[in-house]
Structure 1
Amino acid sequence: MDPKVFTNIARAIADASLNGHSEGEILSNFCSNLNEAGIPVKRALLGADTLHPVLAGRIFSWHADKQDVELYEFGRSITEEGQRKWHSSPFYHLETSGEDSLRFRILGHNGDYPFPVLPELAEQGYTDYLVTMTRFGERAVIGQLNSVYASWTTTHGEGYTDKQVETLGALIPFAAAAVRSASVRRIAETVAETYLGRNAAQRVLSGTIGRGEAERITAALWFSDLRGFTRLVDTVSPELIMPLLNDYAGAAVSAIHAHGGEVLKFVGDGVLAIFRDDGNLQNACLQSIKALKSCLRDLREVRNRRANAGLPVTDMSVALHVGEVLYGNFGGEDRLDFTVVGPAVNELSRISGLARSVDQRAIYSAAFKQAAGGLNEYAISLGRYALRGVENPSELFTLDPSVLR
């Protein structure tokens, strides 16, 4: 390959990385440039493990006859059949052998194939197959993201020339570095969203990280916690507590996110969330009511499943309030939390504490009732209560049990 062409391809990869292109875009552009330069790639696969609470990794598939790159995501758990296929793959061979590449000339081969994928490729008319693994240095590893593995297949009548394989091998590290950059950006977004919440993550990644940097917002506020959780902790085996928390918190988080809310933090067995005003406070309140109903409905399934499996079960109380809060960064110089603070949050905490004493699964303030448009056909008054730290007694409400079924 002409040195100028080589440089142009390498520069194109760098430009794609610097401009924030995705892994699929990087692979597609790279393969197109290789073909234009005379390296006949017909199909390419590129994959990398990742740092994600659910996914183990992603594989991107490019084919010269297709317009779009296909994405395959695989989870952390793997079936016995999946494990068997992985162990018989050339990628597993590279991982365990320490080799960086493996080439197999399919054209003209007689006899057995060392990997099950090869006869499949032969039937599809492929003539040459190159598998590569670009490993990262120890300080560049993030979670399971420690390498980029890829395959490069051609249908050219004579396969790849040795010079083409050499050139491809020299260019692949550029592509791997660009893919790592895109994957790290994706990991940063995933980790931030997982631990901070969606909106907070976007704010932090866009530069809102100054200590005390906050804005005033009006929102419907949600706090839910488990009923009898302290007793459960004292009476069941410790290894059963985390799965219980995951099952119950999972129902709450799914319901909140499904109806436009944002989970800000977990406080022990509690969940603090907000439904932002965004110009329509009544809608925010009604969305939180929908989330409440969805959450309690899903919890019935959680309890039934756990009870049938002989696992401990409990129930959840949800408190709703509304008010103006400060939304932003609070904490020490080297440890910040992105959350909400203010009198309305304190009042929400007091209301939540009363949910247990009045034995209600759902409880909300008069301010919330008014902001939601009355809820007159569903609201049941629980009376007026003196809340610690709140000047005047507050009337609290629950929803008609028929609504919560």
Structure 2
Amino acid sequence: MELTTRMDLTNWLTSQGLTGLSENDLVRGFCERCRAAGLDLSRSLIFIDTLHPIFEGRGFRWNDSETNEADSFEYGPTDQGDAAQNWRRSVFFHMLEHGHDEMLIDLADHPKLGFTMLPELAEKGHRHMVGFVHRFGEAGALGQMDCFYSYWLTRRVEGFNDRELAALRDLVPVLGLVIKSAQQVDIVRTLGRVYLGRDASERVLHGKISRGVTEQINAVLWFSDLRGSTSITESISPDEIIPFLNDYAQAAIDAIHDSGGDVLKLIGDGVLAMFTGENLSHAKRAALRAEHRFRLNMIALNASRGAEGRAVTSAYVGLHVGEVFYGNIGHDDRLDFTVVGPTVNEVSRIASMCRSVDRELLVSAAFRDGLDAAGQHYLVSTGRFALRGIGRAQDLYTLEPAIARDQALAERYERYLKN
């Protein structure tokens, strides 16, 4: 490959990386341009570790012919089970263990090498491989993201020639830098969603990060906490406390997200969330739908935990509606993107009142009044109550108890929630 062609490929990678081209398109475009320039590639695979609560990293594939393989994939931890064994038998683990940055392999030698993947690659007609490990260094690492791994294959019997290897040595680090940059954007978005919430994360990433910059909005607020969590955590073993909290937090968060809400904050065993939209009546129905799904999630969760002899519980949910300030609160060095205002205080007090009236769901009069007639029909009064720290008493409502006993009524309520 001529020097001018390498420069053209470098410029293409740089420009497309700056525009935000996806990793799949970057890898495909790079490989196709290499082949057009005379570099006899038949397959490539690259992967890079990342920061994600579930996945350890992501990989991307390219082949010179159609396959059933996905162009991209995500992989879990490689330090346990079969994944750990496969990793320890891989070319890349061998390279790391022996300090190699590059390794040339004739696939005809695969029986004596014993690496995973090589027999399958040889069977598909690939003849030679070159593998690279490009290390980032301490300053360039981010969590476990400290290496860019890649291998490149050819079907040519004699393998890559010296000029092709030189081209790959020049170009693959540039591709690695562009892929790393794209992955760091993905990491920022993932961490934002995980730690701030989906809507708050998007607002922060779009530049709303100045202290005191808030927006006054009308929102439906959700506050939930677990029944008897203090006594439960005191009675179970310490190593069971976090799994207990995680299981029930997931039940709530899945229900809220599935219904279109945004989780704003986890406070011990409590969850603060909001539902918004141009039509608050729709947002209220979404909140009721989330509460219903939360109950179903907990039924399934309690069945599985109970079968294992582990602690089970239920939860209280309070729903309210009103104006809140939504934005950056705190100090320049430590901001929280959340909601504040009297409505937030009130919804937490409403949830707390569930214990006193022995109801798992309480909603405010403001929440009920904004529902359509069909929705109001499913809510009944529990009385008027003074809420701790709130200056005025409030009428509170709960689900019609007959819903739990009357199958036909329960089915009508579920149809209402789906509309």
Is TM > 0.5 for Structure 1 vs Structure 2? yes
- For 1:137, the equivalent position in structure 2 comes to 137
- For 2:83, the equivalent position in structure 1 comes to 82
Residues 295-314 of structure 1 mapped to structure 2, 5 A cutoff: 295-314=294-313
Q: Answer yes or no: is the 8 Å Cα contact 1:62–1:69 preserved in 2.
A: no
Q: Answer yes or no: is the 8 Å Cα contact 2:77–2:83 preserved in 1.
A: no
The separation in 2 between residues aligned to 1:75 and 1:176, in whole angstroms, is 21
Flag structure 1 segments of 5+ consecutive residues without an equivalent.
none
- For 2:92, the equivalent position in structure 1 comes to 91
- For 1:349, the equivalent position in structure 2 comes to 348
> Any idea what the Cα deviations from partners look like across 1:28-85, whole Å, max 9, x if unmatched?
1211221122111111101011100011111111112349971111123776333222
Residues 235-274 of structure 1 mapped to structure 2, 5 A cutoff: 235-274=235-274
Shift of 1:157: 4.4
- For 2:367, the equivalent position in structure 1 comes to 368
> Any idea what the Cα deviations from partners look like across 1:265-299, whole Å, max 9, x if unmatched?
011110000001x2111110001101100001111
Q: 1:253 to 1:348 in 2, by over 3 A?
A: same
- For 1:340, the equivalent position in structure 2 comes to 339
Residues 269-280 of structure 1 mapped to structure 2, 5 A cutoff: 269-276=269-276, 278-280=277-279
Q: CA RMSD in A?
A: 1.9
Quick check: 1:158 aligned with 2:149?
A: no
**For structure 1, which segment, 65-74 or 301-310, has the greater mean C-alpha deviation from structure 2 after superposition?**
65-74
Q: 1:155 to 1:273 in 2, by over 3 A?
A: same
Q: Answer yes or no: is the 8 Å Cα contact 1:113–1:119 preserved in 2.
A: no
Q: Answer yes or no: is the 8 Å Cα contact 1:10–1:171 preserved in 2.
A: yes
The separation in 1 between residues aligned to 2:384 and 2:92, in whole angstroms, is 67
Q: Answer yes or no: is the 8 Å Cα contact 1:28–1:69 preserved in 2.
A: no
The separation in 2 between residues aligned to 1:4 and 1:403, in whole angstroms, is 74
> Any idea what the Cα deviations from partners look like across 1:161-206, whole Å, max 9, x if unmatched?
1221122112111111111101111000000100000010001011
- For 2:417, the equivalent position in structure 1 comes to none
Q: Match for 2:64: what amino acid? A: A
- For 1:32, the equivalent position in structure 2 comes to 32
> Any idea what the Cα deviations from partners look like across 1:81-132, whole Å, max 9, x if unmatched?
332222211121112222111111236x596344242232222111211111
The separation in 1 between residues aligned to 2:389 and 2:113, in whole angstroms, is 76
Residues 284-295 of structure 1 mapped to structure 2, 5 A cutoff: 284-295=283-294
Shift of 1:316: 0.5
Q: Match for 1:296: what amino acid? A: R
Shift of 1:384: 0.5
Q: Answer yes or no: is the 8 Å Cα contact 1:24–1:69 preserved in 2.
A: no
Q: 1:112 to 1:391 in 2, by over 3 A?
A: closer
Residues 381-396 of structure 1 mapped to structure 2, 5 A cutoff: 381-396=381-396
- For 1:60, the equivalent position in structure 2 comes to 60
Q: Match for 1:96: what amino acid? A: E
The separation in 1 between residues aligned to 2:77 and 2:191, in whole angstroms, is 16
Q: Answer yes or no: is the 8 Å Cα contact 1:251–1:299 preserved in 2.
A: yes
Where 1:55 maps in the other structure, the secondary structure is coil
- For 2:282, the equivalent position in structure 1 comes to 283
Where 1:112 maps in the other structure, the secondary structure is helix
The two structures have a TM-score, normalised by structure 1, of 0.95
Q: Match for 1:301: what amino acid? A: A
Q: 1:321 to 1:11 in 2, by over 3 A?
A: same
The separation in 1 between residues aligned to 2:343 and 2:116, in whole angstroms, is 63
**Aligned residues between the structures:** 403
Q: Match for 1:128: what amino acid? A: H
> Any idea what the Cα deviations from partners look like across 1:193-231, whole Å, max 9, x if unmatched?
000000100010110000011111111110000111122
The separation in 1 between residues aligned to 2:387 and 2:164, in whole angstroms, is 76
Q: Answer yes or no: is the 8 Å Cα contact 2:52–2:191 preserved in 1.
A: yes
- For 2:8, the equivalent position in structure 1 comes to 8
Q: Match for 2:296: what amino acid? A: R
Shift of 1:315: 1.5
**For structure 1, which segment, 242-251 or 93-102, has the greater mean C-alpha deviation from structure 2 after superposition?**
93-102
The two structures have a TM-score, normalised by structure 2, of 0.92
- For 1:194, the equivalent position in structure 2 comes to 194
Q: Match for 1:102: what amino acid? A: M
**For structure 1, which segment, 344-353 or 174-183, has the greater mean C-alpha deviation from structure 2 after superposition?**
344-353
Identity of aligned residues (%): 40
Q: Answer yes or no: is the 8 Å Cα contact 1:63–1:69 preserved in 2.
A: no
